[in-house]
Structure 1
Amino acid sequence: MHYVTQRIGYNEWREFCGLARIDTLEDLKVVLRDDRVAEMILNMYQHPDNIDVWLGGLVENYLPNGRTGPLFACLIGKQMKALRDGDRFWWEADGVFKQKQKDELLKGSLSRVICDNTDIQEVPSDPFRFGKFPSEYVTCGNIPSINLEAWREETNKDYELCGSPTRIHNGDYILTFNAGKVTALYSCYHGFMLEGAAEIICEKSEWHPEAPRCTGK
């Protein structure tokens, strides 16, 4: 039995990212901005549809202030967004933090951490960018702090009746209070697999369904 697989090349991935296809040598010269390299690649692959996505992405001209061309910037961005949106514990996911807590978290910075934990009184507003001292430094008094009052626990009658959720071996949970409901979100430590419901809800003085467990792989 023979299986035929279709290779997805450079042009298909460009289309996937909403970029223009490369149909001619002139198209390739515009994207690469290096006529000699464009001619070498097309001479090697014979047709733009044959160009491999890895090579095509590597030789694209860099985006402004970037280290990749438009194709790799798109693919990396899409992958990172998928990883973020697929993480139910991501801090921006619904039910993890309240809006006022998110607003406070947005104030956090490494500069503020440095101010709070050292005797340094002047820091760059963005510590990940090189700045000349002292013209591009600011005093710690001008760096926003996080107000922890946003995390003050609210009294919830249902939670008082249900009590704390069941603790599990090789895992843990976080509590969320959303739309009047108390929910426990469970996860396992690295190397263990969750069996059962990852989310249980406090209803009628009890947690439903039963807490899951973490088993070795």
Structure 2
Amino acid sequence: MSRSPKPTVVLVHGAFADASSYARVIPGLLQRGLNVVAPAVPNRSLIGDAAYISSVIRQIDGPVILVGHSYGGAVITVAGVEDNVQALVYLAGYALETGESLGELQGRFPDSDLATALVYTPFPVEGSDTPGTDVSVDTDKFPAIFAADVDPETAKILAVSQRPLAAQAFADPAPAAAWKTKPSWGLVSSADHTINPDVERFGYQRAGMTTTEVDSSHLVMLAHPDRVIALIEEAIDATTK
């Protein structure tokens, strides 16, 4: 019996972070002989970011396991409809319904500690006289809110190197919900102070995902990489014949 092609794990980072947030997960995946791609998400708009990740996926020959952390969960919800995506894995992420925005989903639940730590900064938009708005996290509050169980020195570096999210990303309605047609797994960070864990639970339960909970800060990939790798492997084993 011929075996399916080896899957490629595409790791999609979230807001206020970059692909280095997977630095402790990537070595474990590579050691297991998996192909790994960790693209830089523009973090400009949900529609644009999903289109970019979709373009990355389409250039991969073979099946894809699509992993999204935080805002990256919203991105994979849209980009995951690509034909070669065989499974979705959400890490402390947003699982949107078709037509739902990130702001709408989050607005149904009490705010997390993040709400009082956000910083808004204008940035120029090419071809427009109206500036956009970048959203970031106060660097002094970042470690406690975003990375409470991550090495403190690493958390300080992450705080000053964070990748902002344009406010537009909160407002874009999701044009598709890939979890309706793709097997999906969800990890809840139960000690999350960035996203209310109930937001994560609600999205996962609505999607009928296989769900696990980890007593972790928002950056579960750095705090508990083995748990993340195990969940990705579970998705691979369940969808690769």
Class of the TM-score when normalised by the shorter of the 2 chains: under 0.3
- RCO greater where, 1 or 2, for CA within 8 Å and sep 6 or more? 2
> Which has more radius of gyration?
1
TM-score (norm: length of structure 1): 0.21
TM-score (norm: length of structure 2): 0.20
